[in-house]
């Protein structure tokens, strides 16, 4: 097992400061700085790259704030541009919540679609050109000539980076294209991730990533690194080998 390297910076501050910096960057350039601040969280919502939820948090003084959640499982297997496009996608929902009129339930209405197109993210139920732009389940693709693409390139040319990645990426890197609703709005994984641009973290982190083996019943295979014993069980188990008294991590 690879030794643990102690990071030079505080991981919590580093990870969230980067997301906050990206939020502020796009807020100023795509929304004229009009969006209120929100609470950005990291959530491993199954088959979801991110979601927006209105007024989800409250502080001890009674002040409420919205939530934008990002799923770190996809950070290492997508390009930074695609990760940031998910953040901005959710920012459009936040904009509509405060300055527009959201559709009923999880419906992505015409106003939302128009704002997406205006900032350079084209809504599409298929994730490709020609797809429907409104509906309950909605994907998007990046307009290469749009505002988002230009401002995202500017951001990535600075010292901005996404420093922390989940070592356990999703088992399926090419799930169906759909954005499934969660709370006010949630987004599941679009089409083939490999087709969405290069993910430089994959090459750098190849030795650290763990792809969990499963059988048909969605059980995970665990392996003792001492004696090689194997076991199958739920993906959330933390197993210890009875003979070696060492942990049994998910088999890669």
pLDDT tens figures, 187-197: 655 443 433 34
CA dist., res. 51 & res. 173, Å (int): 19
Confidence of residue 179 (pLDDT cuts 50, 70, 90): very low
Contact in structure between 90 and 50 (CB atoms under 8 Å):
yes
- Write out pLDDT tens, residues 10-62: 999 999 999 999 999 999 999 999 999 999 999 998 778 889 999 999 999 99
Q: Summarize pLDDT for 223-245 with one digit per residue, the tens.
A: 766 677 788 777 667 677 777 66
Distance CA 202, CA 210 (A): 11
Rg (CA), the chain: 20
* Cα gap 241→230, rounded to integer Å: 9
Kindly list the domain boundaries of the chain, sorted by start residue: 11-205, 212-252
- β pairing state of 121-124 and 64-70: unpaired
Token output for 53: 């939820």
pTM for this prediction: 0.76
Beta bridge partners, 52, equal: 68, 185
Is the pLDDT score of 206 beyond 50?
yes
39-42/64-70 β-pairing = parallel
């Amino acid at each position: 097992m690879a030794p643990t390297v102690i990071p030079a910076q505080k991981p919590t501050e580093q990870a969230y400061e980067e997301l906050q910096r990206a939020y502020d960057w796009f807020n100023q350039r795509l929304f004229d700085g009009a969006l209120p601040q929100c609470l950005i969280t990291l959530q491993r919502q199954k088959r979801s790259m991110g979601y927006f939820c209105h007024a989800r948090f409250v502080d001890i003084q009674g002040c409420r704030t919205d939530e934008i959640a990002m799923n770190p499982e996809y950070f290492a297997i997508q390009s930074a541009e695609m990760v940031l496009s998910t953040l901005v996608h959710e920012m459009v929902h936040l904009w509509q919540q405060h300055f527009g009129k959201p559709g009923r339930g999880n419906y992505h209405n015409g106003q939302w679609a128009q704002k997406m197109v205006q900032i350079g993210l084209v809504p599409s139920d298929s994730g490709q050109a020609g797809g429907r732009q409104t509906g309950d389940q909605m994907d998007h693709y990046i307009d290469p000539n749009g505002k988002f693409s230009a401002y995202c390139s500017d951001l990535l040319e600075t010292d901005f980076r996404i420093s922390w990645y989940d070592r356990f990426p999703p088992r399926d890197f090419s799930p169906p294209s759909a954005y499934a609703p969660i709370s006010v709005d949630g987004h599941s994984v679009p089409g083939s991730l490999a087709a969405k641009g290069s993910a430089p973290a994959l090459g750098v982190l190849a030795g650290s990533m763990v792809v969990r083996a499963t059988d048909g019943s969605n059980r995970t295979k665990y392996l003792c690194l001492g004696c090689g014993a194997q076991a199958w069980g739920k993906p959330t188990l933390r197993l210890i080998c009875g003979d070696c008294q060492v942990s049994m991590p998910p088999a890669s």
